[in-house]
Amino acid sequence: METFNPDPKPGRIVLPLVLIGMIATTYTFINRVSTNNNLEIVAEETPVETVAEETSVEDTSTTSTTTTLPDNYVAYLEELTAEKIQATELGKDVLEANDNWDNQSVTYQEAKDEFKANISTAEQFVTTVSEPGPPNEFAYLVTSHEELKTLVNLIYEDTVELLAGLESSDTGEQRAAALDSFNRNLDQFIKKIEEVVASATSS
């Protein structure tokens, strides 16, 4: 006699039971492993570096000092400035007299008179430069003044030599050499004045 099976598909009951058992086993295993090994889930933190921007403040303030020169120092510088102008005028007169003779625009006597007038001007210029001179308490000015006195005397001697060259029987070599010396000494004289004035105003 055949046994009657009321459920024609017994797997419908067995399969869910198997799945429930697997899930329970897996959960138990994970909890046990985590507990035995003291595992802890830690969220990784990413450090954030904060950079503070530095603002540099530029100091644009300047400190200036003003040096007040003594009155006698200033007075001497004014004398030098006036002497520079006189030296320039003398140079123009000497060159003009020499060119007049070279160009034959004047007679021999007129040329001699012009050369003699330049000698007289140069002689007076020597006195102007020599006296009264700088204040004695400023050693640099005293030393520079001595150089100027030497140069102005050479300038005077050059004007005398120019006349001698005019009166010479040569073809103008002596006068040309005297003119070259005059121009060189005059240029040094003017540059020395500029040097003294510049050093005073820049200190």
Cα–Cα distance list, 73 to 37, 42, 80, 201, 203 (Å): 98, 87, 11, 11, 13
CATH of range 71-202; options 1.20.120, 1.20.1420, 3.40.50, 1.10.3470: 1.20.1420
Q: What is the CA radius of gyration of the chain?
A: 54
Longest CA pairwise span in the chain (Å)? 179
Contacts 24+ apart (CB under 8 A), 85-91: 86/125, 86/128, 87/125, 87/155, 87/186, 87/189, 87/190, 87/193, 88/190, 90/118, 90/121, 90/122, 90/125, 90/155, 90/186, 91/182, 91/183, 91/186
Tens-binned pLDDT, residue by residue, of the chain (203 aa): 555 555 555 555 656 565 676 676 666 655 564 555 555 545 455 555 555 455 554 555 454 445 688 889 999 999 999 999 999 999 999 999 999 999 999 999 999 999 999 999 999 999 999 988 899 999 999 999 999 999 999 999 999 999 999 999 999 999 999 999 999 999 999 999 999 999 887 76
What is the separation of C-alpha 126 from the centre of its chain, rounded to a whole number of angstroms?
A: 38
pLDDT of res. 63: 47
Both tokens of 15, joined, read: 């399969």
pTM: 0.66
Asked if 86 and 128 count as a contact pair (C-beta separation under 8 A), the reply is yes
Asked if 178 and 158 count as a contact pair (C-beta separation under 8 A), the reply is yes
User: Where exactly are the structural domains of the chain?
Assistant: 71-202
**CA–CA separation, 108 and 54 (whole Å):** 85
